[in-house]
Amino acid sequence: MQRTGPAGWQNDLTPITPSDWNYEFASHLLERAGFGGAPEEIQTLARLTPEAAVRRLVYFQNIPNDLPAFDHSGVHDPGLEPFPESRPAVTKLAKEKGEALGIKVKPGGDRPLQPIVNKFFYWLRASVIETQRVAYWWANRMVATRRPLEEKMALFWHGHFAVNEAKVRDYRKTLGQLELFHKHGTGNFRDLMVAVAKDPAMLSFLDAGVNVKGAPNENFAREIMELFTMGVGNYSEKDIREAARAFTGWNYVDLTFVVNKDRHDSGPKTFLGSTGNFDGVDVIDIILKQPVTARFIAGKVYRFFVRQELAPEMQERLGALIRNSDYKIAPLLEAIFLSRDFYSPASVGTQIKSPIQLAISTFKKLGLKEAPGVPDFNVATGALGQRLFSPPTVAGWAEGRAWVTPGLLLERGNFARDILFPDINFLPSDRYNGAADIRTVAVKIRQGLDISTATMPDRGGETGLAESNMLADRDEDFNTRYGSFRGWQMAIEKVKPIPRQAARIDLSRMVADAGLKNTTEVVDYFVRRFMRVAPADEKRRILTSFLDGELRTSDIAVAKTYMEDSLRLLLHLIMSEPEYQLS
Amino acid sequence: MKSQFTRREVLRAGLYGVGIGAAGIVPVPPLFASTAQALGAQISNNGRILVVLELSGGNDGLNTLVPYADDAYYRLRPKIGIRAGSLRKIDEHFGFSSGMAGFERLYKEGTLAVVHGCGYENPSFSHFTSMAYWHTAAPNRGDEYGWVGRAADAISPKAPPNFLVNIDTRQSLAVRSRVHTPLVFDDPNKFTRDGFYEERDVFARVADPGGVENPSRRYLLDIARSAKSASALVKEAWAKYKSPVDYGITGLDLPKVAALIDAGLPARLYYTSYRNNAFDTHVFQGDVHQRILTYTSDAVSAFMQDLKRIGRADDVAVMIFSEFGRRVPENTSLGTDHGAANLMFVAGGKVKGGHYGKIPSLTNLDAGDNLVYTTDFRRVYATMISGWLGFQDAPAILNGKFETFDMFV
């Protein structure tokens, strides 16, 4: 069966025809437009015409979404709003007002500010842990959905409009932003851009709240142009300053967008050659009129779904396509997924899987119905370089080769091992805090020590304590280390636990169901089921002889009752191969 | 003479820096295509090690080493300017931010060089663009390979394994090399294959990338070979490393560098960073900036102390930079926006401490209220390449001739 079209298909946007279509093409499509799948899922697409298969993925609104909504633990309360920017800001506020975070300062005694400091740390930790639950909820959607492109596109936008919970410090805002990606992901880019610009997650992340008349803060305007719409080099520093003025006064109160009229600069601005009393939406509309914007967005979508190298002439055509459809994303996706270019040798099997893609597609190919609780999805994908709601910078994740280093390649194999052979010393990161100082404080408090003694750092022996460790030892109207410990304790009481079911895997059953007779067939089946790029023939022989050695037979009928662990070793070896990282 | 630079000497030291000569650029023809062969004769083998530490996000140099004697500083930063009384003063003009006891100590013992006014013509205010210029040493242009990677290619054209180390979760553009596969890892405890005993023979065999056409696949096969050659070394080095030195709250990745140096890894180039745009202090920067400076200062000074402990302080220099400084006037959010010229630091046992380069004026700013650069940052790169690593033909690596500083004993 042809795995790719001819080399001449590269850069050819002509749609493929039903006579080109086969199981391998359908497998490639599902891999990229979704997260891959078990053979039955691929077969379903392969039986359609290419046009019908692509439309089924792109126009997914016809398929009902029967997945549950996020189940909030109930960790937020109105006293937390507006949440101050730092612990010093909280204690300063408390000293000035006699109250902060909905808690009054104690009239006297030791550490009258302690309950307030505890609550400050409580919310930081509760939001972090609840974000882990949101990420699990999303990962489970990616695994279980019947509309995979909806999730894949949301993942794309999450990298594009990258917002980090660590800065926003409110899981409700990052969840709200994800809902926008689900809602507008394949719709109109203008709707999405405006919605994102008015969304508290982005407003908070890019400090829009402090962008006020007379003193514009440029962060928001700069990133909108540089990263979200046009790319660097297509506007001047003056354009940034003028755009920043147009966004002045944009802010949020809790989860609601507001415009502070008296802080909005309503004067005339000259932006990208136009002059007027522009506000933020006007600025976005002017940006969208620039031909470079359509090219930029189309190029970024292409690189995410197809490959990193994009010929300028192709980018021009894709940009025209999106501009002519009034910035609708779905027609662009449809054209890309149907194009010969998408099935050319330059595109097939040449993408290095992102960590999220690696994890979700591994689960799906194993036939799992949900992300396993062990290993922890967030810790595992984070160690591989991509943790949901935690992109490294506002530029999102660097895709492509940046995903793999020598260290991370080994880590990918170890991840596979952790799925196939769950660690029995596993500690759940939503309950157990690995930070040494929190654990030490917990032990000392239990021993009945007073707070000052219990929070004294242990280290500093012969060479003395570093400045930062001396400074962290604050013990005055409150104790920071105690607050950090107590905040964690309060958070794990409130946040619901993440279920910790390990993956239920039955490879023996998989082999039996596929009717495989001998070890050569098993290796071929695993390679085909799990890999998009097969390893060298010599490697196949090595794997077969490995399995023969483990089973002491090549006859599956002989080995069927005892082969499970050996099959898992085989699969661990396959998933550790460099080729397994390719999609 | 170490730390006794007077203000006048500071200015004199910077006099290279006036007018056109400021940048010190004399273009040379691009030699790079044949660097590896042509320069083989000049291979430097002085055994010295360069550690580059990137402060990502644009460190506010003015609030790092504060020019407290300059009234303009307080005029332009009425709210976030750090009062003279809380600074760690190093002379009659400058003082370090209050948490930077480590830098103060290094400066006073004469092993910390401060280079003023580092930047380039037509500065970019984009983190990613400006960082790419610094990574490639190619402002307003960029390059396919990073300057540290090109230095590795030139100094060690035969590319023995583990010559170039990048400790991070992803490979930096700075270390991207034509012939070297940089050793990139983050957590040394995890830089290991968790294989079963039964699997060891299979894992021992890494496929040969030769003849593979798919470029991504070839890349992965190269990575697999590097991982195999390095993981045992790194793991063992880290397991053996035990230091009594307190690196502070984060330590950055410098204990890992110390462990590898202590274990005798052949690497001569290390690259690491304070990650995730941490220094991008647009709002309420006071506490947070002071905190991350403290972490940085703790980590760097502990690293130097640790190197002394293992007897390698004279073999190692640390160069510290950021992609840009910050706007001179504060913004209304008690923070600062993206700026231009900035400080660089070089620390090491053989470093002649003190001030280098011309101090930029706080009153004669550019149109965007930024410091006008007085030192092309590539002069510092050139100083590290030839003055420190002993590779004389720095222009071949930097695609231009840059005057070096006399910075090392």
Separation in Å, CA of B177 to nearest CA in chain A: 14
* DSSP string of A111-156, one letter each residue: -TTHHHHHHHHHHHHHHHHHHHHHHHHHHHHHHH-S-HHHHHHHHH
Name which of A214, A466, A538 is nearest B248 (Cβ-Cβ): A466
Separation in Å, CA of A29 to nearest CA in chain B: 19
Task: Identify the residue among B194, B301, B327 best suited for mutation to test binding to A, counting A beta carbons within 10 A and taking the highest.
Answer: B194
Q: Has residue A525 been placed in a domain?
A: yes
CA–CA separation, A75 and A133 (whole Å): 12
Closest residue by Cα to residue A294 from A330, A318, A271, A310? A318
Residues of B in contact with A467 (CB under 8 A): 99-102, 248, 294, 297-298
pLDDT of residue B179: 85
Residues of B numbered 369-408 whose beta carbons fall under 8 angstroms of chain A's beta carbons: which are they? none
Q: Has residue A266 been placed in a domain?
A: yes
The rounded Cα A118 to chain-centroid distance in angstroms is 30
Say yes or no for a CB contact (<8 Å) between A468 and B332: no
Residues of B numbered 127-186 whose beta carbons fall under 8 angstroms of chain A's beta carbons: which are they? 127-129, 166, 169-171, 181, 183-186
CA–CA separation, A90 and A114 (whole Å): 11
* DSSP string of A239-308, one letter each residue: HHHHHHHHTTTEEEETTEEEE-GGGS--S-EEETTEEE---HHHHHHHHHHSHHHHHHHHHHHHHHHT-S
**Chain A, chain B: beta-carbon pairs less than 8 Å apart:** 208
Greatest C-alpha distance within chain B: 71
Residues 6+ apart with CB under 8 A from A35: A142, A143, A148, A151, A152, A357, A360, A361, A364
Which residue of chain B comes nearest to A458, CA vs CA? B246
pLDDT of residue B208: 85
CA distances from B298 to B52, B306, B308 (A): 16, 12, 15
pLDDT of residue B282: 86
Say yes or no for a CB contact (<8 Å) between B169 and A413: no
Q: Has residue A257 been placed in a domain?
A: yes
Q: Is the peptide bond before B360 cis (omega within 30 degrees of 0)?
A: no
Residues of B in contact with A393 (CB under 8 A): 56, 127-128, 276-277
Separation in Å, CA of A62 to nearest CA in chain B: 36
CA distances from B109 to A185, B1, B104, B113 (A): 58, 11, 9, 11
Name which of A217, A240, A350 is nearest B215 (Cβ-Cβ): A350
Q: Is B259 on the interface with A (CB under 8 A)?
A: no
Say yes or no for a CB contact (<8 Å) between B246 and A463: yes
* DSSP string of A499-559, one letter each residue: P-PBP---HHHHHHHTT--BHHHHHHHHHHHH-SSPPPHHHHHHHHHHHHHHHTSSBHHHH
Taking the domains of chain B in order of start, what are their residue ranges? 7-199+230-398
Which residue of chain B comes nearest to A569, CA vs CA? B199
Into how many domains does chain A fold?
2
Closest residue by Cα to residue A9 from A334, A342, A313? A342
Q: How do residues B261-310 score in pLDDT, each as one tens digit?
A: 999 999 999 999 998 889 999 888 888 899 999 999 999 999 999 999 99
CA–CA separation, A164 and A154 (whole Å): 15
Does residue B73 contact residue B362 with C-beta atoms inside 8 Å?
yes
CA–CA separation, B240 and B255 (whole Å): 12
Which residue of chain B comes nearest to A423, CA vs CA? B194
Q: How do residues A18-59 score in pLDDT, each as one tens digit?
A: 999 999 999 999 999 999 999 999 999 999 999 999 999 999
Residues 6+ apart with CB under 8 A from A390: A164, A165, A166, A382
Q: Has residue A121 been placed in a domain?
A: no
CA distances from A567 to A37, A368, A483, A543, B46 (A): 20, 17, 49, 11, 52
Tell me which of A240, A266, A289 is where a domain ends: A289
Separation in Å, CA of B193 to nearest CA in chain A: 6
ipTM of the complex: 0.94
| The residue type at B28 | V
Q: How do residues B3-51 score in pLDDT, each as one tens digit?
A: 333 333 333 333 333 333 333 333 333 332 333 333 333 455 678 999 9
Say yes or no for a CB contact (<8 Å) between B284 and A89: yes
End-to-end, the C-alpha distance of chain A in Å comes to 18
pTM: 0.84
Q: How many CB atoms lie within 10 A of CB B20?
A: 7
* Residue A514 structural domain: 507-581
Phi, psi dihedrals of residue A430, rounded to the nearest 5°: -90, 0
Which residue of chain B comes nearest to A218, CA vs CA? B337
Pair of tokens at residue B356: 């280098």
Closest residue by Cα to residue B233 from B271, B253, B273, B261? B261
pLDDT of residue A472: 59
Helix or strand (DSSP H, E) at A378: helix A377-383
Q: Is B218 on the interface with A (CB under 8 A)?
A: no
Length of chain A as a residue count = 583
CA–CA separation, B389 and B392 (whole Å): 9
Q: Has residue A512 been placed in a domain?
A: yes
Q: Is residue B175 very low, low, confident or very high in pLDDT (cuts 50, 70, 90)?
A: very high
CA–CA separation, B123 and B372 (whole Å): 10
Which residue of chain A comes nearest to B287, CA vs CA? A88
Closest residue by Cα to residue A250 from A277, A273, A225, A221? A221
Tell me which of A256, A289, A322 is where a domain ends: A289
| The residue type at A482 | Y
Q: What is the mean pLDDT of chain B?
A: 88
Strands B65-66 and B183-185: unpaired
Q: Is B305 on the interface with A (CB under 8 A)?
A: yes
Which residue of chain B comes nearest to A215, CA vs CA? B332
Separation in Å, CA of B238 to nearest CA in chain A: 14
Say yes or no for a CB contact (<8 Å) between A413 and B193: yes
Q: Is B244 on the interface with A (CB under 8 A)?
A: yes
Instruction: Kindly give the parts of chain A with pLDDT less than 70.
Output: 458-464, 469-475
Does residue B348 contact residue B318 with C-beta atoms inside 8 Å?
yes
* DSSP string of B72-103, one letter each residue: HHHHH-TTTSPPGGGSEESSSS-EE-TT-HHH
CA–CA separation, A317 and A340 (whole Å): 15
Separation in Å, CA of A537 to nearest CA in chain B: 11
Residues of A in contact with B244 (CB under 8 A): 461-463
Residues 6+ apart with CB under 8 A from A435: none
Handedness of CA A286, A288, A291, A295 (dihedral sign): positive
Pair of tokens at residue A326: 């009034």
Helix (H, G, I), strand (E, B) or coil at B185: strand
Say yes or no for a CB contact (<8 Å) between B196 and A572: yes
Separation in Å, CA of A238 to nearest CA in chain B: 9
Task: Identify the residue among A90, A211, A468 best suited for mutation to test binding to B, counting B beta carbons within 10 A and taking the highest.
Answer: A468
Which residue of chain B comes nearest to A346, CA vs CA? B214
Tell me which of A225, A259, A289 is where a domain ends: A289
CA–CA separation, B297 and A244 (whole Å): 35
Q: Has residue A559 been placed in a domain?
A: yes
Q: Has residue A107 been placed in a domain?
A: no
CA–CA separation, A581 and A412 (whole Å): 8
The rounded Cα A229 to chain-centroid distance in angstroms is 20
Q: Is B75 on the interface with A (CB under 8 A)?
A: no
Residues of A in contact with B215 (CB under 8 A): 350
Residues 6+ apart with CB under 8 A from A318: A295, A298, A299, A301, A302, A332, A335, A336
Q: Is the peptide bond before A375 cis (omega within 30 degrees of 0)?
A: yes
Q: How many CB atoms lie within 10 A of CB A277?
A: 11
Does residue B372 contact residue B341 with C-beta atoms inside 8 Å?
yes
Topology (CATH) of B7-199+230-398? Alkaline Phosphatase, subunit A (3.40.720)
Helix or strand (DSSP H, E) at B396: helix B394-398
Residues of B in contact with A465 (CB under 8 A): 246
